[in-house]
A and B are shown apart, each in its own frame.
Chain A
Amino acid sequence: MYQTDMYEGLLAETITMTGTNGDSINAYFARPLGPGPYPAVVLAHHMPGWDQWYRETTLKFAHQGYITISPNLYFRSGHGTPEDVAAKVRADGGIPDDQAVGDLAGAMKYVRELPYSNGKVGIFGTCSGGRHSYLAACRAPGFDAIVDCWGGRVVMPPDQLNPKNPVSPLDYTKDLPCPILGIFGNEDGNPTPEQVNQHEAELKKHGKVYEFHRYDGAGHGFFYHDRSAYRQAQAVDGWQKTFAFLEKYLIPSR
């Protein structure tokens, strides 16, 4: 726990990393200053893009002691303001699941190979980033923990599948190799409470280690302090559960 006479310092910068198909993409990266070793977290940004909230959240995780990387999953859609880029992606029906998984796996590889890494890497995502995190954790071997915050379309009926999203993420549940923390609002329309129950049942069926927390009075995106969806009490509790979970699984010595 922080004490007022402790030294704190962060390094944060935009970097270039290798993603799907060996493509170079950019990412926002932050780490505590010091020799480490530190655990790491990959952040999968949400549908509104690689935006201010995700850059701030990169700093938040680093401030908590994690090497943190937030890859620009929309890199291939061009450059402009995060909203303009995300609007193009929205118009194009999102990005291919395979591409997102490859970029997130590349981010995992990048942080794990750093000399001050402790070798443990988690993944965190909200909204579409929660869904992409789940897909990456199931399909890209090597993640040690996942935090899925209100990931929509994890449960996908067959009529929603398409070439970019060919498989319902739920169908990969048997392959999930690590513990999962799920954070959801009971007033969310996507995922609905029923879909969250379905997801939990699938995890239980396959004997996975999971914690699901459902919040009354909260809908979609209740961590977003810059949006009307923000719910202070639920968000504070959700963040506490997030960091307790990551500490449990990414810092073995504690």
Chain B
Amino acid sequence: MCTMIVEKVKVDGSGKGTSGWFKLEQANVSYDHPFNAPLEHALNIDFVNESQGVGARVAVELSEQAARELVKTILAVLDQADAGGHLARRA
């Protein structure tokens, strides 16, 4: 456990893990050792539902650049949706 940089955030939505879809409760965002990405450290996001056990997890491991681009892209898409009036329908 080498950087110990981690933040948790509650999330609503669904994730598809090895056993199919499950309800997401939380996203754990860390900058630490990845399990698979060929990087010493990566921006790791684990979408989890701890009430369903440690296997209820959807994981991504991103390079710093990829993570920053993803954040920008998510915000850009939400902005487009907002501009189109799609977000207002939720209220």
Contacts and interface: CB of A to CB of B under 8 A. Distances in A.
Interface of A: 47-48, 77-81, 83-91, 93-95, 127-128, 152-153, 160, 165, 188-190, 219-221, 227-229
Interface of B: 1-4, 6, 8, 28, 30, 32-33, 35, 38, 40-41, 44, 46, 48, 50, 53-55, 57, 59
A90 to B, nearest CB: 6
B38 A77 contact: no
Contacts of A153: 1-2, 4
Nearest to A48: B35
5 contacts: A85-B54, A93-B6, A94-B4, A152-B2, A189-B41
Contacts of A228: 38
A250 B30 CA distance: 39
B40 A219 contact: yes
Nearest to B27: A91
B54 A77 contact: yes
A174 B40 CA distance: 31
Interface centre among A77, A83, A85, A221 (most CB of B within 10 A): A83
Given A87-B44, A90-B32, A94-B4, 13 more contacts: A77-B54, A78-B53, A88-B48, A88-B50, A91-B46, A93-B1, A189-B40, A189-B41, A190-B2, A190-B3, A220-B2, A220-B33, A227-B38
